[in-house]
Each structure stands twice: as structure tokens, then as C-alpha cells.
């Protein structure tokens, strides 16, 4: 039996209550909880010993951490560290937190579909004016989620959980993903959530066929990761292919939807409306025309916020630590050629 100690460094401010179960996984684990804002906050001798690093964005230079073998990130998307040389180290395992944020982001997406379909932006404006319109039967006639067609761009953990939540609404789910040959989910997902077998969609499309998919949809939800291949993925052509009665929800990353094309589509009512949580520039500048468009709901990148996020993060890390200890493949391995 291998008894070699494994030095684990956690730079995220977890409570000791959350970390305590990790310490009980194996006597081999030597866990140091040291919240930090920069790599310089970590002593050089600790970097020199670290084999496993749990972090949000703090990364050492390769020379500073010669024993580093695995980095577990605190987020599902790691585009914020794109270009770091550690990501290209084939001998280093890089894993993301994909799956931990899926429950709350999926709830947000469903909430926004309901809000858009039931004319919430206009209702809110109407309330502000204290107006009881005589034409309310026509003005507030909804696009019901029940019986609609929802297109999900990116069928990862979030997209799969959206599909699961939509099942009671008798929705037809269309999905687009990079790899059509593997509809099943091999990443991490809390038990009972998501679509592990790839059974909840009616049809699966390649990413290159987005226009064919979105023209059939009442609602389109964007939840792909930001990579070189997905940047500006949804532009003028894709928005033009949508129905004028269609709504767009973006819970992905800023930069996937082309901002100017979206503004024009909303202004000219080529689509009915949008709910946006992410933007190419954050915070969204006060000068952005998106703020003032009457058919838009804006939130400040909060769809992934949850009081349960830290617990879900530690649960995933615990699963991966157990796999690491016995030499099994880790959940959510980063692939440099895919960018996620």
C-alpha cells in the first residue's frame, strides 16, 4: 500500500467545516487551507511541496511548483486563465468544476424563459407607470413554455440540467454539441440531476448547424464554454434564423454572442427578446444600448451564484480526490485542443 504523503493546497476561502471531511479521506492527504489573492501570498517552500492545487485563478510558475501534478479549478469555465503555460503541460492534470453550478444556472435559465414568455419586461415597465391597460388581453398574451420548443446550444452539465427541469412542461428539447458521437455525459453531475444518458432531447445537432436548429425554437439558451471556436458563435446569421417570436437566454460567457448583432436584432424585433447574464465587457458599461432596450432582461453575471456553491464544489473535489488516490481518471479533465 502506498503511504507517500500528498500535499494539497486550497487557496479558496472555504470554511474548516467544509474542508474537514476532505482530511478524513486518507491519512496520505496533507491539506493546507490558505486563502490567497496572488501566487506571491503562498510561501515558496509550500509551492515547492504542493502536488494537488485547488484554486480559483491563482497559479504558480512551473518552476515554483516542481511537484505539482493536478490543478482543480473552482469554476466550470477557465477562460480567465487561458494562455497560462501550465494548461499546456501534458503531465499536469487540469480539472474544472463543471456540474457544481448546474443546478442554480439551470433554474435561472428556466426562470428567464418563463419571464420572457410572460412579458415580464413590459409588465415591470407597466407597473412603474401605474397603468392598467385596456388592451392587456392582447398586449400580455404569453408565449407559454408548456408545449414549446427549446434549443440548447451546448449540451454539457448546465444544458442537461435545463433539459431535465423542462420535462414537466412537455417541451421539445433540441440540443447542439461539439461531439455528436457521444450523447452521454462523462463529466461530474450531482446524483439525480442532468441527463447522464443523453435521453432527454428530441434531436441533437452539430454546432455547425445552429441556424437549422434555432429556426425551429421558441426559446434558445446559450450555455457553451468560451473557447477560440465558440467566440462570436452566435451572430447575425444565427439571430436572423430565429423566429421573430423567439427568445434568447444567455448563461454562457461574454463573447459568444456578437453584441452588435444582438442589439440590432432586438431593436428591429427580429427576435422577441433576450435575457442576458454575461457580456463581452463586464461590468456592462452604462453606455451600452442593451440597458435601455424594452425587450431585454439584464442581470450582472449572477446565474451561477448559490448559497450551496461551496458545498457542491467541495463535494466534487472530494469525488476527484478519491479518484486521484486510487489512480482513476478524474472528472472534468481539461482538454487543451478543445479549450475546456
Q: What SS3 class is residue 289?
A: helix
Helix 157-166 vs helix 102-117: angle between axes, to the nearest 10 degrees?
A: 50
333 in any annotated domain: no
Residues 28 and 135 in one domain: no
DSSP secondary structure string for all residues of 16-65:
HHHHHHHHTS-TTEEEEE---SSGGGS-HHHHHH-SEEEESS----TTT-
Domain with residue 282: its CATH number is 3.40.50.720
Residues 249 and 180 in one domain: yes
Tell me which residue of 218, 219, 262 sits closest to 238, measured CA to CA: 262
Residues 129 and 277 in one domain: yes
Q: Are 153 and 251 in contact (CB under 8 A)?
A: no
Residues 174 and 253 in one domain: yes
277 in any annotated domain: yes
| Predicted local confidence at residue 336, as pLDDT | 82
178 in any annotated domain: yes
Residues 181 and 254 in one domain: yes
What radius of gyration, in Å, describes the C-alpha atoms of the chain?
22
Residues 268 and 313 in one domain: no
| Predicted local confidence at residue 167, as pLDDT | 98
Cα(175)–Cα(151) distance, integer angstroms: 6
Mean pLDDT by 10 residues, the chain (340 residues): 92 97 97 96 97 97 96 94 88 95 97 98 94 95 97 97 98 95 91 96 97 98 95 98 98 97 98 98 97 97 97 97 97 88
Cα(149)–Cα(126) distance, integer angstroms: 28
Burial class from Cβ neighbours inside 10 Å (0-12, 13-18, 19+) for residue 135 reads exposed
State pTM to two decimals.
0.94
Residues 29 and 115 in one domain: no
Number of domains in the chain: 2
Residues 91 and 199 in one domain: no
| Predicted local confidence at residue 2, as pLDDT | 82
Burial class from Cβ neighbours inside 10 Å (0-12, 13-18, 19+) for residue 166 reads buried
Burial class from Cβ neighbours inside 10 Å (0-12, 13-18, 19+) for residue 192 reads exposed
Tell me which residue of 6, 12, 46 sits closest to 26, measured CA to CA: 6
Tell me which residue of 99, 97, 94 sits closest to 76, measured CA to CA: 97
Tell me which residue of 63, 76, 66 sits closest to 188, measured CA to CA: 76
| Predicted local confidence at residue 337, as pLDDT | 77
Residues 163 and 136 in one domain: yes
| Predicted local confidence at residue 322, as pLDDT | 97
39 in any annotated domain: yes
268 in any annotated domain: yes
Summarize pLDDT for 230-260 with one digit per residue, the tens.
Answer: 999 999 999 999 999 999 999 999 999 999 9
| Predicted local confidence at residue 250, as pLDDT | 98
Residues 16 and 75 in one domain: yes
186 in any annotated domain: yes
Residues 273 and 144 in one domain: yes
* Helices assigned H by DSSP within 134-258: 136-139, 157-166, 210-214, 236-241
Summarize pLDDT for 54-110 with one digit per residue, the tens.
Answer: 999 999 999 999 999 999 999 999 988 988 988 888 899 999 999 999 999 999 999
56 in any annotated domain: yes
Residues 112 and 258 in one domain: yes
181 in any annotated domain: yes
Write out the residue range of the structural domain in which residue 62 sits.
Answer: 6-100+307-326
Amino acid at each position: 500500500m502506498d503511504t507517500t504523503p500528498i500535499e494539497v493546497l486550497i487557496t479558496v476561502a472555504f470554511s474548516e467545516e467544509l474542508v474537514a471531511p476532505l482530511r478524513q479521506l486518507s491519512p496520505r492527504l496533507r491539506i493546507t487551507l490558505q486563502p490567497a489573492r496572488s501566487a506571491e501570498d503562498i510561501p515558496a517552500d509550500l509551492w515547492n511541496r504542493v502536488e494537488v492545487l485547488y484554486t480559483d485563478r491563482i497559479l504558480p510558475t512551473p518552476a515554483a511548483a516542481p511537484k505539482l501534478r493536478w490543478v482543480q479549478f473552482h469554476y466550470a469555465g477557465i477562460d480567465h486563465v487561458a494562455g497560462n503555460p501550465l494548461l499546456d503541460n501534458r503531465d499536469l492534470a487540469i480539472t474544472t468544476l463543471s456540474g457544481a453550478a448546474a443546478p442554480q444556472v439551470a433554474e435561472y435559465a428556466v426562470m428567464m424563459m418563463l419571464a420572457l414568455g410572460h412579458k415580464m419586461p413590459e409588465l415591470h415597465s407597466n407597473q412603474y407607470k401605474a397603468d392598467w391597460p385596456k388592451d392587456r388581453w392582447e398586449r400580455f398574451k404569453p408565449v407559454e413554455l408548456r408545449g414549446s420548443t427549446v434549443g440548447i446550444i451546448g449540451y454539457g452539465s448546465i444544458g442537461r440540467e435545463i433539459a431535465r427541469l423542462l420535462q414537466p412542461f412537455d417541451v421539445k428539447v433540441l440540443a447542439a454539441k461539439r461531439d455528436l458521437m457521444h450523447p452521454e455525459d462523462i463529466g461530474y453531475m450531482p446524483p439525480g440531476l442532468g441527463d447522464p444518458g443523453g435521453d432527454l432531447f428530441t434531436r441533437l445537432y452539430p454546432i455547425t448547424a445552429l441556424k437549422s436548429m434555432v429556426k425551429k425554437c421558441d426559446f434558445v439558451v446559450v450555455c457553451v464554454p468560451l473557447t477560440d471556436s465558440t467566440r462570436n458563435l452566435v451572430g447575425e446569421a444565427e439571430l436572423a434564423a430565429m423566429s421573430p417570436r423567439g427568445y434568447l437566454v444567455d448563461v454562457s460567457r461574454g463573447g459568444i454572442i456578437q453584441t452588435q448583432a444582438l442589439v440590432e436584432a432586438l431593436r428591429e424585433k427580429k427576435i422577441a427578446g433576450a435575457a442576458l447574464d454575461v457580456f463581452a465587457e463586464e461590468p456592462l458599461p452604462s453606455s451600452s444600448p442593451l440597458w435601455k432596450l424594452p425587450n431585454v432582461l439584464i442581470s450582472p453575471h449572477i446565474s451561477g451564484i448559490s448559497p450551496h456553491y461551496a458545498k457542491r464544489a467541495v463535494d466534487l473535489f472530494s469525488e476527484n480526490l478519491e479518484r486521484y488516490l486510487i489512480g482513476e481518471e478524474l472528472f472534468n479533465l481539461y482538454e487543451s485542443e478543445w479549450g475546456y
